[in-house]
Structure formats: C-alpha cells, structure tokens
Structure 1
Amino acid sequence: MLVSSVGMGDELPVGGRPIGVEECERRWEGWGPEQVFARLAEVSAPWGVVGGWALDLFGGGQARVHADIEIAVPRAAFGEVAAVLRGYEWDVVGEDTVWAYADVADHPELHQTWLRDPATGKYHLDVFREPHDGDRWICRRDNAITLPYTELIETGPGGVPYVIPEVVLLFKAKARRAKDDGDFARTLPLLSRHRVARLSEWLARVHPGHAWLAALAARTPVGER
C-alpha cells in the first residue's frame, strides 16, 4: 500500500487530502491474485500483478503476508479495467495525498489508482497506470528501459499473469523497506543468469551504487528460469 513519491513537490494538484500509513492499514483489504484474475477475466489488454505478490507468483508460493495487491496496466487501457469493475470507485494517490480519480485522471505524474468499495470505504486493488508506446511498456524511472508486454508479463500458478521479477525488484529498490530486502533475498537464488544481468544493468542505471548490486555481482545463477 505504498503511496508513491512522484517527485512533484509544490506542483501537486489541488483538491487532494493527506492520507497516512495508519489510515491505509485500516482501510486496505486486498484481494488475492486469484480473485483479481477472476474479476479481470474479460480484460483483453495486457496486465500483470506487481509488487510482492508478483515475486510469490514467480517463486511458486506465498512467502509472506501481503496487506494489498498491485497490478500494472498500460495507461491507455485503464478504462477497460474500470469497465469490468463497475460498482466500485477509484482514488488516485501520490506523495501521501489522495484525490478522486475524476479530478486528476489525466495528470501525467500520477499513476497509482486505488479501487474503493463505496459501501465500506475499503480498498481492494491498486492499479498502476503505466506509460507505454503501443504494445511496449516504458519504465517510469528511466524511459530508456522498455520491453514489449509479451516479455514483461509471464504466467504464474492458476494462469495469473505477473510482471517479471527483475522489473519488480527494480521498483522495490527505491524504498528498500525491510520487506523489500527480504523479497530480494528470497528471489535472488531463483534468478537466471539473464535475469541477474538485466537487473544489474537496470539497477546501475536507476540507482547507481545500490547495495543490491554487490549481491547480484556475487550471485552464480543456477538454471535459466
């Protein structure tokens, strides 16, 4: 349920209100990956689970408790996701602030979009509206990092789509909370030589000198997952 930092400072849109960790913890009741998959069955646009759940799907089993669940979709395809989730409402969050989706939907720096049950006020799904060029995903942290969606998204147990671990870890590297370090440590032994090399390259570009780079350099990958 991380409320992303978008680096806008005083340029935040008007009309938002502060939202803190305590409120987030109280209001989040995240669906499981299988629930999300079932609810988005009619969505034809590419989407995939991100965050800690994505690493669990890659690893083949749940490694820890998750307070929320996040998915990534092409920004232009968000309407297709919203259409199959009728009856819910959407909020946009960033910089510890929350806005009604209708008020800031077109703001280019705001991407994190929370699904809210209007009856209970609970949040169940966090949708990242990601930049893209047609069928190619573009990294928000460095637009030179780009992949076709066919390479960005793989399929986990039960057919649930998830974003590849090297991309998930690249985004987790910024916050480096205890759970992020734990996710990295659990996932590193599962990464193939190709995934290690790609994550190392991207991490050096986006976060030069990051502590995970030494562990990646020392890793001798086994297999080619």
Structure 2
Amino acid sequence: MITDDWSLGYTSVTGDDEINIGGQRLRAIFAPGHTDGHLALLHKNTHSLIVGDHCVGQGSAVLDITSGGNMTEYFQTTYEFLNLSPHVLISMHGRINLWPKQMLCGYLKNRRNREANILKAIEGGAKTLFDIVAYVYADVDRRAWIAASSNVRLHVDHLAQQHKLPKEFSIQKFKNTCGLQFVSRWIWAYTSGSLHIGKSSFLIAGVVAGIAVLYSVKSKLSNQTS
C-alpha cells in the first residue's frame, strides 16, 4: 500500500497499486486509450471510479493521438471499467454520472457506430483523412472536424489491426494525407461553409489550423525518434 508521504515531491504509482490518502483508499487502474499512460482511480470506500479523460460530461472523448492514444486500448479499458461495476463515474470534464453502465455502454455503441461509418466511407471510395471525416461527420459543426480527425485516424488503425480494411486501401497513402493536406482542405471547407465569413471565423480557423500543424509536426518528430 502506498501512503501519503510527499517528502520526495511525488509518489510513483502503477496499475493495481493501492493508495491511502487521509484515510481514503484508492486503487490505481491502468487505463490506456486516451493516452498510453492514462490512469483511473477506484475509490474503494464508495466504489466510485474516477475515469479522468476517458469519459466526458457531454459528447464523446477525443483520444490524444500525439500522446499514445489508441482505439484498441480504449475499447479494452472501457470493458474493464464495465467489469469493475462502479457505483459512480467521475470524469475530469462534466458532472458526476450516477449510471456508469449506461454511460460506458453508450460510449461503446457510439465508437462502434463511428467505426462502422468510417469503414463504409472507405468502402465507398474515400482514401484521404479529409474525405472520411467529411463523410462521417457531415452533420457535425466543421469546427469540430480537427478534433474528430484524431479519432478517425485511430479508428482506421483499429480497423487495420482487425484486417477489415479493403485490400485496395493504402494505409501509407492515407497517413500521407493526415497532415497539412487535411488542414488546408479543412480551412477551405470551414471558411466556404458560410456565405458571411467574419474576422472571427478566419481567426478561429487560423488558430485551430496552427494547433493542427503543431500536432502534425510533433507527431512526425515522435515517429522519427521512436
């Protein structure tokens, strides 16, 4: 058991470690998916599960592709959370959820539906990240497409691991469309999506595009050094 001794400034924990802080007993749960080092905490006194960024208060979580986000692990972690049968879910965003099973099953259903639509888009001829995002998220505000693109990329990886992608679909060519090509096509789609484009719209597009470029560069550097 790990106790609250902060003399060294920090305490290292891993999955299944038990932590005791002020009489409150917590079990560390290794929960990769959102990132490769994501951790959840089970409050043993109340059987409440602190899920971090695995769940959000509204909508679905965006996996961090620049920090080891992985769709296969995300599914596995969600099933592990279900097996724990927590009484309450506490996420880092949004309200406490009193119906953990319904929430987690809803997340699984949403992710399966998204993945099925991604496969449908690919089977219909979509070969680039932008084409897939535009098809799957056609009814979603285009400002959300940048964030959604991370999940799409991880879903494509998950489909590849399951050997579900059509033989004519090239993973390497797809990855080549995930950087500046996607950003430039998104900027055009976003700014041309309204007849009245104000300065604020261009500013938002520029800021989001800048962030996307930084993520793209960071991802490439990570791949080169790994």
- TM norm structure 1: 0.29
| Structure with a larger share of its residues in strand | 1
Question: Whose radius of gyration is greater, 1 or 2?
Answer: 2
Bigger helix share: 2
- Tell me the TM-score normalized by structure 2: 0.29
